Structure 1
Amino acid sequence: MAEIWFLVVPILILCLLLVRVIVSKKKKNSRGKLPPGSMGWPYLGETLQLYSQNPNVFFTSKQKRYGEIFKTRILGYPCVMLASPEAARFVLVTHAHMFKPTYPRSKEKLIGPSALFFHQGDYHSHIRKLVQSSFYPETIRKLIPDIEHIALSSLQSWANMPIVSTYQEMKKFAFDVGILAIFGHLESSYKEILKHNYNIVDKGYNSFPMSLPGTSYHKALMARKQLKTIVSEIICERREKRALQTDFLGHLLNFKNEKGRVLTQEQIADNIIGVLFAAQDTTASCLTWILKYLHDDQKLLEAVKAEQKAIYEENSREKKPLTWRQTRNMPLTHKVIVESLRMASIISFTFREAVVDVEYKGYLIPKGWKVMPLFRNIHHNPKYFSNPEVFDPSRFEVNPKPNTFMPFGSGVHACPGNELAKLQILIFLHHLVSNFRYVFHAR
């Protein structure tokens, strides 16, 4: 009799497990099916494929195979990719409350957990308002003389260089403008040590997140600690001086919520480092692509030169500074910028996480899954932009269809510093095409 029970009990347990699996599957099916796609290897998923090729090729090949919504697993996280304007609007605008902003933990560590990007609700709203007030047109127009000075200094430093590494030089320019907007006129010693450590963090940001001594990611973590220390020193000095300043740090230091609470030093440091990230890399990339596209179209380059030369002559050949009005009256140059943003799609996607089970067009997006609207795939879809692989600024003589052009994101988490980015690009291009000739060599 005992021998029979030894056989019966395992069979009963197996039957119960099978019933549970069947019920679970039926329950899941009743809520909707998962999007098509491959989850790849256990845990790793398709991370190695993503990191071993151009990410744009990876996402585009997936879209061609599975359609405008598909699943995968990246860096250990199950993800749903969305490549249509309607889906992007659904996640970022109309149903944004169902998706919280999120980044891979490895990247969050390098920027700082209190940074604006990773939050929603009251804290996000307060910090976003502080960023916006620091970069309002009324505020940044006062920075024009200083941005001009930085642009001219950058260009003059190129004069004795036979070959210029464009992207690296643009990063230096964008970093200096970012420092200006955040700290105002910062001591050069602080600026240099911030730049040194930031460059290490930047180098490790998109590396494989392996925190072993000697790896780029580990070096970036160590440099991030140094950045926090330096920023904390600057904060302490500013607090001792008690000077009322209108730069971004000043707005952070002067903030009090409705309960009288101020921001902690860690919150301030994380948001400063976050804004530096946002201010430097995308602007530098955009400027680099603009120079490449202009070099490839000499007729367009000459037209941009003519537009800028008229302003150059109006200002008595740079004896007078640029004005805010003049930067608002560069229509062709502005179209070149927005077409470059579309073509390059520097921010190719953004990260969100479903906070509840969400159904979209018959597919289930489970709670806890990462969700990534793919901006580049939308920007390069021939349904929305004819001949999308051709650089054509004239396409922006008419406004694009809603939600098809999102170079700075969309919704409450759209980049609040986009006006400053455009302003510094316009100023730099004005002085470059008015005073210099260049030959662009791709590497």
Structure 2
Amino acid sequence: MQNEGKLFESNYPKSFRDLVGKNGVITLQGDQQRKLHGIASNIMRLDKLKLHFLDDIQLVILQTLNFHDNHVILLQDIAINLMVNQLLGVSTESEINEMAQLFSDFADGCLSIPINLPGCTYYTAMKAREKIVSKIKRTIENQRQSECAGNGVLGRILNEENLGDEAVADFIINLLFGE
């Protein structure tokens, strides 16, 4: 089964591929997939993450505790908020919460019946994907215009790798989905 895509290739339904993107680690095969796996392994190395990781965990937990104020706190909310913070370099509470909600809508659609009509979960997921991609591309553009190293995994991808904006957006979505 580990014959590098020569004997067996993974395949997903078109509806799932449309959600996660054609340039994602999940949907690519062969050399392209190995390249993206290598990028993910390099970027997610402990020495690169630990620089600000503990500070980011503290920030996200404090924001979550302040926001919920005596309500039930779900660990999945903290995990999603932390992933949004780490992957996109987003740190404001409103941006984190917005991206977390979009991602939640997106993830729900990955496990739904692929009916792309308003009111259906899959439709909501496709709209959430469009908004996530738009926000990622806007963040990419802002980082390129400011010519400063961006925060998070997205900033490191832009600084260290030569990928197109669509491939970067699909890559970030796949990393979020893998969370």
Structure 2 unaligned segments of length 5 or more: list them. Answer: none
Q: 1:350-369 maps to which residues of 2 (within 5 A)?
A: none
Letter in 2 for 1:243: C
**Alignment match, 1:270:** 170
Give, in whole Å, the separation in 1 of the partners of 2:10 and 2:152.
26
**Are residues 1:222 and 2:122 paired?**
no
**Alignment match, 1:144:** 54
**Are residues 1:100 and 2:9 paired?**
yes
CA drift of 1:275 comes to 0.9
Give, in whole Å, the separation in 1 of the partners of 2:150 and 2:136.
16
**Alignment match, 1:397:** none
Give, in whole Å, the separation in 2 of the partners of 1:132 and 1:246.
18
Give, in whole Å, the separation in 2 of the partners of 1:95 and 1:134.
22
**Alignment match, 1:358:** none
**Alignment match, 1:182:** 87
Letter in 2 for 1:182: L
Residues 134 and 246, structure 1, Cα contact 8 Å, conserved in 2: no
CA drift of 1:119 comes to 1.5
Letter in 1 for 2:174: G
CA drift of 1:247 comes to 2.9
Q: Could you say which structure has the larger radius of gyration?
A: 1
CA drift of 1:185 comes to 4.3
Secondary structure of the structure 1 residue equivalent to 2:9: strand
The 1:212–1:174 alpha-carbon spacing in structure 2 relative to 1, beyond 3 Å, is same
Aligned CA-pair RMSD:
2.3
Residues 115 and 274, structure 1, Cα contact 8 Å, conserved in 2: yes
Among 189, 199, 202, the alignment partner of 2:104 is: 199
Q: 1:148-297 maps to which residues of 2 (within 5 A)?
A: 148-155=58-65, 157=67, 160-161=70-71, 164=72, 169-245=74-150, 247-256=152-161, 262-279=162-179
Give, in whole Å, the separation in 1 of the partners of 2:143 and 2:85.
15
Which ranges of 4 or more aligned residues in structure 1 deviate by more than 6 Å?
none
Residues 190 and 230, structure 1, Cα contact 8 Å, conserved in 2: no
How many matched pairs?
178
Give, in whole Å, the separation in 2 of the partners of 1:232 and 1:101.
28
Secondary structure of the structure 2 residue equivalent to 1:274: helix
Give, in whole Å, the separation in 1 of the partners of 2:122 and 2:90.
31
The TM-score with structure 1 as length reference comes to 0.37
Identity of aligned residues (%): 24
Give, in whole Å, the separation in 1 of the partners of 2:64 and 2:93.
16
The TM-score with structure 2 as length reference comes to 0.85
Give, in whole Å, the separation in 1 of the partners of 2:126 and 2:7.
31
Residues 182 and 249, structure 1, Cα contact 8 Å, conserved in 2: yes
Give, in whole Å, the separation in 2 of the partners of 1:152 and 1:187.
12
Instruction: Answer 1 or 2: higher relative contact order, Cα 8 Å, separation at least 6.
Output: 2
Give, in whole Å, the separation in 2 of the partners of 1:171 and 1:209.
25
**Are residues 1:125 and 2:34 paired?**
yes
Give, in whole Å, the separation in 2 of the partners of 1:276 and 1:95.
24
Give, in whole Å, the separation in 1 of the partners of 2:50 and 2:61.
15
The 1:245–1:197 alpha-carbon spacing in structure 2 relative to 1, beyond 3 Å, is closer
The 1:108–1:221 alpha-carbon spacing in structure 2 relative to 1, beyond 3 Å, is same
The 1:122–1:146 alpha-carbon spacing in structure 2 relative to 1, beyond 3 Å, is same
Residues 102 and 117, structure 1, Cα contact 8 Å, conserved in 2: no
Which is richer in strand?
A: 1
Give, in whole Å, the separation in 2 of the partners of 1:127 and 1:195.
24
Secondary structure of the structure 1 residue equivalent to 2:115: coil
Q: Deviations over 1:137-191 (max 9, x none)?
A: 2122221232133234435655512xx2x6xx22221111111221224444543
The 1:129–1:235 alpha-carbon spacing in structure 2 relative to 1, beyond 3 Å, is same
**Are residues 1:113 and 2:22 paired?**
yes
Secondary structure of the structure 1 residue equivalent to 2:119: coil
Which is richer in helix?
A: 2
